[in-house]
């Protein structure tokens, strides 16, 4: 702990030096009995030697800090997640330091130095593609919880996700229920689990309804607007175009809206569209978008609660939590023409 | 300074006890010569007595914190401003604690306790309707800078705004340049200066073009979607409806889109629409929205730079900065039919 005397000593520092886990140190701090006496003695000695002072509870007027980390802050998800995390943190008197790793390697190093210097009590990481070395460093940091709307596989850390497969299923079932049979899908990048899960939900719904799969009805997008537009154009140019499209992100759904508009067609009279995300704009699009809601704010809240439990040294029951998606039916879907 | 021994001592505490301003303490810390010797002595004595340790620069591995405060985090502006502030703070190794005051009075008190306990070096306040008592407390806090997209009058604090009047002018001039003469406006809440400035810009553009003002062409909205929808419906129901509408927020422009769609009409073939904000969704709306860009991220960056200068004890040249708006011409505007 070479810089231990200059910067604030954290629970993680103590744990490392004592050769025990962070929760063990927390248990000692919380006066819990389930710590071997010898371990407790070693930890308490280090706490004293380094003059560890708890980044306290609201009672003592001393606020704790947690870090909330994004790859970049231009994700449309960011503000919803911040809102959920802040809501819980506020009640606990905990400050939320929001940062973005940014993409350049030097920026990553700088960001990591900043996180360490802050000596926050824990980290909520919004899953993304971190440099593997940085990800390994984060695993050794004080408690970390991952919020994972995208389905980036992250080993060994408690992760809050959403039920992507069920979401894809319910979107497609809704279209089938309206009488559609030629239903296309615009999927996300295949490297993300959430893309695969949403696509599998789509396939399962078709299969359950006895609809033959058709590879012409699948377009691989990347969740961004342009790929939704390109997918929409491709589908509308088919000899036998689909009567409905499930775009597996809201942004891609807006891209399809624009392709439909440029053809002089109408949503939903000529074609039905379902999205995935339910960011606030979905209500303001024209027509308002039928979409699968990811409960991003609630995911942020659960992440904060889980992290604060870990900081207190409590155990969590499972490494993977999934919150349910919900289909929000608005005006972009209708029965197909002639149905 | 009753709790001074328990929580971290800040520059503001020292300033208060010494009976000097925060910049004066900063000047002492920065070794500047423009401090009276007697004042310097008193400040240095207090710094020593309270064992003040600077929330340091990156060099020492100790990060500073600043607070970035919103009324509520559901403003569509929030993430852009966070992005700008974080971008600058990142480079300086400064952590950004994002919080929302929330609306209830007890929440305000709680939030204020949290801010104090964190002992951050400064506050960026995104202007809003704080309880007057809380606002007075904030003025006594270490350096505070206001980001003010809305034009809430805030006395005595450096404020970063945007050129709302010029924005309203350029939006209207654009429509006049396309050949429109019957141009309606949906304004924002009159209690906000930005609403009045945008409306005045509209009026001035009409006047300069020799177009007679018409009170039927003005609808008072509140910046939210529903009021844009209501305004659009009202204008379309007129015997002689406008051929163009300037909605003074993007959200209200989307409300007009929906009113136009429900009438079976088309943007821009039947009616042109201009918004104000240029949030990211504007590019994804269908058709993509012509709108006046508020440089929110840049406003956040300037706020962070200004705050960090104040923290270092530097003077700022003026209390009011305005960054220029810019008209973004996309596909929601076209010449009127028959022009």
Tell me the residues of chain A between 261 and 300 that have a Cβ less than 8 Å away from chain B: 261, 280-281, 283-288
- Is the per-residue pLDDT at A137 higher than 80? no
CB contact under 8 Å between A6 and B287, yes or no, is no
CA A200 to chain centre: 19
Q: Does the predicted TM-score (pTM) go above 0.90?
A: no
Q: Class of B164-295 per CATH?
A: alpha beta
pLDDT tens for A4-59 read 334 567 788 888 888 888 778 876 665 555 667 677 677 777 876 776 655 433 33
- Confidence band, pLDDT 50/70/90 cuts, at residue B247: very high
Check if A83 contacts B (Cβ < 8 Å): yes
Of the candidates B186, B166, B170, which has an alpha carbon nearest to the alpha carbon of residue B178? B170
Residues of B in contact with A99 (CB under 8 A): 86, 90, 95-96
CB contact under 8 Å between B283 and A76, yes or no, is no
A326 to each of A171, A209, A275, A290, B239, how far by Cα in Å?
A: 9, 21, 12, 11, 43
On average, the pLDDT of chain A sits at 84
A132 to each of A82, A106, A138, B27, how far by Cα in Å?
A: 24, 14, 10, 43
Check if A71 contacts B (Cβ < 8 Å): no
- Is the per-residue pLDDT at B58 higher than 60? no
pLDDT tens for B268-327 read 999 999 999 999 899 999 999 999 999 999 899 989 988 988 888 887 777 888 889 999
Q: Which residues lie below 8 Å from residue A303, measured CB to CB, with a gap of 6+?
A: A81, A84, A85, A124, A145, A146, A147, A160
- Is the per-residue pLDDT at B114 higher than 80? no
Look at strands A159-162 and A320-323 and give their pairing: parallel
Residue of A nearest to B93 (CA): A114
Of A113, A251, A285, the CB nearest to B93: A113
Of B79, B97, B281, the CB nearest to A97: B97
What is the CATH code of the structural domain delimited by A164-294? Answer: 3.40.50.2300
Check if B57 contacts A (Cβ < 8 Å): no
- Is the per-residue pLDDT at A96 higher than 90? yes
Of the candidates B277, B263, B270, which has an alpha carbon nearest to the alpha carbon of residue B245? B270
pLDDT tens for A286-297 read 999 999 999 999
- Confidence band, pLDDT 50/70/90 cuts, at residue B25: confident
Dihedral angle, C-alpha B110, B108, B20, B62, nearest 10 °: 50
Of A63, A79, A117, the CB nearest to B63: A117
CB contact under 8 Å between B86 and A73, yes or no, is yes
pLDDT tens for A60-83 read 333 488 999 888 787 778 889 999
CB pairs under 8 A between A and B: 164
CATH superfamily of A59-162+296-323: Response regulator (3.40.50.2300)
Q: Which CATH number fits domain B64-162+296-323: 3.40.50.2300, 3.40.50.1110, 3.30.750.24, 3.30.450.80?
A: 3.40.50.2300
pLDDT at A339: 67
Domains A11-49 and A59-162+296-323 share a fold: no
Average pLDDT of the segment spanning A169-191:
97
Check if A107 contacts B (Cβ < 8 Å): yes
In chain A, where the domains are located: 11-49, 59-162+296-323, 164-294
d(CA A182, nearest CA chain B) in Å = 24
For chain B, what is the HEC assignment? CCCCCCCCCCHHHHHHHHCCCHHHHHHHHCCCCCCCHHHHHHHHHHHHHCCCCCCCCHHHCCCEEEEEEECCCCCCCHHHHHHHHHHHHHHHCEEEEEEECCCCHHHHHHHHHHHHHHCCCCEEEECCCCCHHHHHHHHHCCCEEEECCCCCCCCCCCEEEECHHHHHHHHHHHHHHCCCCCEEEEECCCCCHHHHHHHHHHHHHHHHCCCCCCHHHEEECCCCHHHHHHHHHHHHCCCCCCCEEEECCHHHHHHHHHHHHHCCCCCCCCCEEEEEECCHHHHCCCCCCEEEECCHHHHHHHHHHHHHHHHCCCCCCCCEEEECCEEECCCCCCCCCCC
CATH superfamily of B11-49: lambda repressor-like DNA-binding domains (1.10.260.40)
pLDDT at B141: 66
Residues of B in contact with A62 (CB under 8 A): 6-7, 117
How many other CB atoms are found less than 10 A from the CB of residue B207? 11
Residues of B in contact with A113 (CB under 8 A): 58, 61, 93
């Amino acid at each position: 702990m070479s810089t231990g005397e200059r910067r604030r000593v954290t629970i993680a520092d103590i744990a490392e030096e004592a050769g025990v886990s962070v929760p063990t140190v927390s248990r000692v701090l919380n006066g819990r009995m389930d710590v071997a006496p010898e371990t407790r003695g070693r930890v308490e000695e280090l706490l004293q030697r380094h003059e560890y002072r708890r980044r306290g509870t609201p009672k003592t007027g001393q606020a704790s800090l947690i870090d909330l980390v994004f790859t970049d802050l231009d994700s449309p998800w960011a503000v919803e997640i911040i809102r959920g995390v802040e809501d819980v943190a506020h009640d606990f008197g905990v400050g939320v330091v929001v940062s973005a790793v940014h993409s350049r390697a030097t920026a990553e190093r700088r960001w990591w130095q900043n996180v360490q210097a802050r000596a926050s009590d824990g980290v909520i990481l919004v899953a993304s593609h971190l440099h593997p070395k940085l990800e390994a460093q984060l695993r050794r940091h004080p408690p970390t919880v991952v919020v994972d709307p995208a389905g980036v596989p992250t080993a060994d850390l408690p992760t809050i996700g959403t039920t992507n497969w069920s979401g894809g299923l319910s979107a497609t079932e809704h279209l089938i229920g309206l009488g559609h049979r030629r239903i296309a899908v615009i999927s996300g990048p295949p490297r993300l689990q959430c893309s695969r899960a949403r696509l599998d939900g789509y396939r399962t719904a078709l299969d359950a309804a006895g609809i033959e799969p058709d590879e012409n009805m699948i377009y691989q997008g990347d969740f961004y607007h342009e790929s939704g537009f390109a997918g929409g154009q491709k589908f509308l140019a088919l000899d036998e175009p689909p009567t409905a499209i499930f775009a597996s992100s809201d942004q891609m759904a807006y891209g399809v809206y624009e392709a439909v508009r440029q053809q002089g067609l109408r949503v939903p009279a000529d074609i039905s569209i379902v999205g995935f995300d339910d960011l606030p704009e979905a209500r303001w699009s024209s027509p308002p978008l039928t979409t699968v809601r990811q409960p991003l704010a609630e995911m942020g809240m659960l992440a904060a609660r889980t992290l604060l439990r870990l900081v207190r040294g409590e155990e969590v029951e499972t490494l993977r939590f999934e919150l349910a998606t919900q289909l929000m039916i608005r005006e972009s879907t209708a029965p197909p023409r002639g149905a």
